[in-house]
């Protein structure tokens, strides 16, 4: 074998090794399809998260008090556990604790107003009858002492609107989603002060779709 041929072959080996070790920054999915890799997330509800549609449902008197935006609310539990909830949520409402995706209203949103998203295992996180669990753990508590305005049940979902008639006079919008075989179910709960009760349709829209990434 000539010296020139040996050098050519060695050059091919080095080039191939370099190509194999190079990080692919193109975002292509495995398999060479060229499509971007899909994120580790799941969407609950139908349609896109549409903050503009929520704002359009606000009455004129509340448009300067509540403004929705597409927000990512991160929940951090432990050093390596982070879940991100992407929703349409009021701008300026603050998350008090990193361990919960709970937003407290600013002074314009009313003293009792809050917006919360999250998950619930109701004990051990394992597959259960989530329709029954959600009814017991999420919906019944929000119906007690309240007048039910709306209660719509679907396949793997439920939406409730109820007004407290005994204490704070708040109106609560509750949405929940679950999938057979999952180890938890997910919720979106908006509690509205009496001063902003006319924002209920906007919060119902906000609680109609949620994207969850990670595992809490």
Q: Provide the CATH number for the domain around residue 84.
A: 3.40.1000.10
Whole-model pTM: value is 0.80
Give the tokens for residue 65.
């008090």
Q: Taking all residues of the chain, what is their mean pLDDT, rounded to a whole number?
A: 85
Is 25 within a domain?
Answer: no
Query: Once rounded to an integer, what is the mean pLDDT over residues 25-36?
Result: 33
Total structural domains within the chain: 1
Express each pLDDT in 70-114 by its tens digit.
999 999 987 767 999 999 999 999 999 999 999 999 999 999 999
Is 8 within a domain?
Answer: no
Separation of CA 115 from chain center: 12
Is 164 within a domain?
Answer: yes
Is 144 within a domain?
Answer: yes
Is 147 within a domain?
Answer: yes
Express each pLDDT in 149-203 by its tens digit.
999 999 999 999 999 988 889 999 999 999 999 999 999 999 999 999 999 999 9
Q: How far apart are CA 86 and CA 104, in angstroms?
A: 17
Is 32 within a domain?
Answer: no
Is 62 within a domain?
Answer: yes
Contact 183, 121 (CB under 8 A): yes
Residues 6+ apart with CB under 8 A from 36: 27, 28, 29
Is 10 within a domain?
Answer: no
pLDDT at residue 142 greater than cutoff 90: yes
Give the domain range for residue 104: 41-214
> What's the pLDDT at 3?
43
């Amino acid at each position: 074998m000539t010296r020139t041929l040996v050098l050519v072959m060695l050059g091919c080996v080095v080039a191939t090794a370099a190509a194999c070790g190079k990080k692919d920054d193109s975002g292509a999915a495995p398999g060479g399809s060229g499509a971007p890799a899909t994120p580790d997330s799941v969407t609950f509800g139908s349609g896109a998260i549409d903050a503009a549609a929520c704002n359009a449902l606000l009455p004129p008197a509340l448009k300067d008090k509540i403004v929705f935006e597409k927000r990512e609310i991160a929940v951090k539990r432990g050093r390596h556990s982070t879940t991100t909830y992407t929703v349409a949520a009021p701008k300026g409402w603050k998350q008090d604790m990193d361990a919960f995706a709970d937003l407290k209203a600013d002074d314009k949103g009313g003293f009792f107003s809050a917006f919360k998203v999250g998950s619930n295992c109701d004990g051990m996180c394992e597959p259960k009858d989530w329709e029954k669990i959600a009814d017991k753990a999420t919906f019944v508590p929000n119906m007690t002492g309240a007048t039910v305005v709306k209660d719509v049940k679907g396949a793997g979902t439920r939406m409730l609107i109820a007004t407290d008639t005994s204490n704070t006079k708040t109106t609560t919008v509750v949405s929940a989603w679950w999938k057979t075989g999952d180890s938890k179910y997910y919720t979106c709960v908006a509690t509205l002060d009496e001063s902003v009760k006319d924002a209920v349709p906007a919060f119902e829209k906000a609680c109609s779709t949620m994207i969850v990434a990670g595992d809490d």
